[in-house]
C-alpha cells in the first residue's frame, strides 16, 4: 500500500512539473508577442486577463492535486488495511493486529497481540446504517416453534403403503418442538433479504396401533407388538440439530408492520433417538438406539406470518431411514412459530 501511494505521489509530481514547464513556455511566448506589438490598452488588458486566467487555472490544478495527495497520505498513515465489502451489509476489514467482521448491525472484532487473542461481539447503532437501507432489514426466523409431524412413503404423498400400516401414526399426538437462536439477517433491500439460524428439533412419532420398532440382527428396522401387558402409548423420539436458510420478503401493511413471506432450505444432523412404551399396568420401557435413522437429512421449508407470529411447514426430501435398512418414509411437519425480532 505504501509503495503504491509513493508511486502515485512521484507520478503526480512529474506531471505537475511537466505541466508547469509547458505553461511557463506559453507565458514567455505571450511576453514576446507583447514586446513585438505596439502595446495597446486592449491588448494589454487581454494579455493580463489571459495571464491571470492561466495562473488561476494552474493554482486550481495544484490545489486539486494537493487535495488528492492528502487523501492518499491519510490512507497511508492509517496502516496496511484490507477491506472487502459484499453489498451494503457484509464488511470484512483487516489490519496488522485486528480483524473486524460486520454483518448488518452486529459484528465480531478479533484482536491479536504477542500473548493473547481477544474476540469481542459488537452491536452497532441503527444510525450507523441509515445510508444503507439493506442494513435495516431484520428477518423473522429465530424463536420457538410448535407443530405436528408425520411422514409419507413417497415424496409429496401422505398415504402409507399397506405393507407399512404398522407405521401409521396418531397425527394429533405426533408433535414437534423447535428452539431456534435469533437469526442472522443479510438485507438486499429494506424489505427483502437472506436469513439463517441454528436450533434444535425434538420430534415425537406416536404409533397408532400401540406397536414399536426395533433393529434385528440383519440391521433391518421392523415393527412388533409389545407382549408385556396392554400398551397405553408408544412412540419414536428423535433429536436433530437444524440449520434453516431462507429468503424473506416483507410486505408493509402499516407503519413498522409487515406481512412476512419466507422460503428456503433446511439441513439437519441427528443428535439422538429412542423409543418409549408406556403400559397401562406395568410401567414403561425405553430403548435408546439409532434405529437406522439417517444421520443427515435436508429438505424445503417455508413460512408466512404477521410480524412475530408465523405459520411454518417443513418437508424433508431425504428419507427418514437408511437405504434398505427400513421403510422409505419422508418426514414433514407443520405448526406455528413465535419469532424473536430485535
Q: What is the pLDDT of residues 11-23, one digit of tens each?
A: 445 454 555 555 5
274-277 own/partner pairs: CB under 8 Å, 24+ apart: 274/236, 274/237, 275/212, 275/213, 275/214, 275/234, 275/235, 275/236, 275/237, 276/234, 276/235, 276/237, 277/212, 277/226, 277/231, 277/233, 277/234
pLDDT digits over 33-82, tens only? 666 654 444 444 444 444 444 444 444 444 444 443 333 333 434 456 77
Q: Which of 3-12, 90-99, 133-142, 144-153 has the lowest mean pLDDT?
A: 3-12
What confidence score (pLDDT) does residue 323 get? Answer: 85
Q: Tell me the pLDDT band of 273, cut-offs 50, 70 and 90.
A: very high
What confidence score (pLDDT) does residue 19 get? Answer: 53
Q: Tell me the pLDDT band of 164, cut-offs 50, 70 and 90.
A: low
What confidence score (pLDDT) does residue 116 get? Answer: 78
pLDDT digits over 233-251, tens only? 899 999 999 999 999 999 9
Q: Tell me the pLDDT band of 32, cut-offs 50, 70 and 90.
A: low
Q: pLDDT: is 199 or 226 the higher one?
A: 199
Q: Tell me the pLDDT band of 125, cut-offs 50, 70 and 90.
A: low
Q: How far apart are the first and last CA of the chain?
A: 40
Cβ atoms 194, 247 nearer than 8 A: yes
Average pLDDT, the chain: 76
In sequence order, which ranges of the chain are alpha helices (DSSP H)? 2-36, 41-77
pLDDT above 90 for 295: yes
Polymer length in residues for the chain? 342
pLDDT above 60 for 121: yes
Share of the chain above pLDDT 90, in %: 31
What confidence score (pLDDT) does residue 135 get? Answer: 60
Mean pLDDT across the stretch 272-276?
93
pLDDT above 70 for 326: yes
pLDDT digits over 182-194, tens only? 888 888 888 899 9
pLDDT above 50 for 257: yes
What confidence score (pLDDT) does residue 163 get? Answer: 46
Amino acid at each position: 500500500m505504501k509503495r503504491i501511494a509513493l508511486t502515485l505521489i512521484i507520478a503526480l509530481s512529474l506531471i505537475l512539473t511537466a505541466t508547469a514547464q509547458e505553461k511557463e513556455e506559453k507565458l514567455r511566448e505571450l511576453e514576446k508577442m507583447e514586446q513585438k506589438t505596439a502595446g495597446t490598452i486592449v491588448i494589454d488588458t487581454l494579455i493580463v486577463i489571459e495571464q491571470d486566467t492561466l495562473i488561476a487555472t494552474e493554482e486550481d490544478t495544484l490545489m486539486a492535486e494537493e487535495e488528492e495527495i492528502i487523501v492518499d497520505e491519510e490512507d497511508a498513515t492509517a496502516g496496511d488495511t484490507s477491506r472487502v465489502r459484499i453489498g451494503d451489509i457484509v464488511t470484512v476489514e483487516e489490519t496488522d493486529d485486528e480483524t473486524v467482521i460486520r454483518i448488518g448491525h452486529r459484528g465480531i472484532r478479533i484482536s491479536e497481540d504477542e500473548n493473547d487473542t481477544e474476540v469481542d461481539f459488537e452491536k452497532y447503532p441503527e444510525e450507523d446504517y441509515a445510508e444503507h437501507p439493506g442494513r435495516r432489514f431484520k428477518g423473522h426466523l429465530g424463536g420457538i416453534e410448535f407443530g405436528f409431524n408425520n411422514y409419507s412413503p413417497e415424496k409429496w404423498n401422505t398415504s402409507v403403503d399397506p405393507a407399512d400400516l404398522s407405521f401409521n401414526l396418531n397425527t394429533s399426538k405426533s408433535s414437534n418442538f423447535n428452539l431456534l437462536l435469533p437469526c442472522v439477517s443479510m438485507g438486499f433491500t429494506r424489505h427483502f433479504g437472506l436469513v439463517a439460524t441454528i436450533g434444535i428439533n425434538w420430534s415425537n412419532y406416536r404409533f397408532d396401533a400401540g406397536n414399536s420398532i426395533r433393529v434385528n440382527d440383519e440391521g433391518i428396522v421392523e415393527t412388533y407388538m409389545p407382549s408385556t401387558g396392554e400398551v397405553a402409548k408408544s412412540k419414536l423420539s428423535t433429536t436433530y440439530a437444524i440449520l434453516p436458510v431462507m429468503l424473506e420478503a416483507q410486505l408493509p401493511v402499516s407503519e413498522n408492520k409487515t406481512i412476512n413471506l419466507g422460503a428456503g432450505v433446511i439441513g439437519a444432523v441427528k443428535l439422538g433417538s429412542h423409543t418409549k412404551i408406556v403400559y397401562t399396568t406395568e410401567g414403561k420401557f425405553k430403548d435408546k438406539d439409532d434405529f437406522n435413522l439417517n444421520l443427515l437429512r435436508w429438505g424445503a421449508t417455508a413460512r408466512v406470518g404477521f410480524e412475530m407470529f408465523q405459520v411454518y411447514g417443513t418437508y424433508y426430501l431425504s428419507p427418514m431411514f437408511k437405504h434398505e435398512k427400513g421403510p422409505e418414509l419422508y418426514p414433514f411437519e407443520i405448526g406455528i412459530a413465535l419469532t424473536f425480532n430485535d
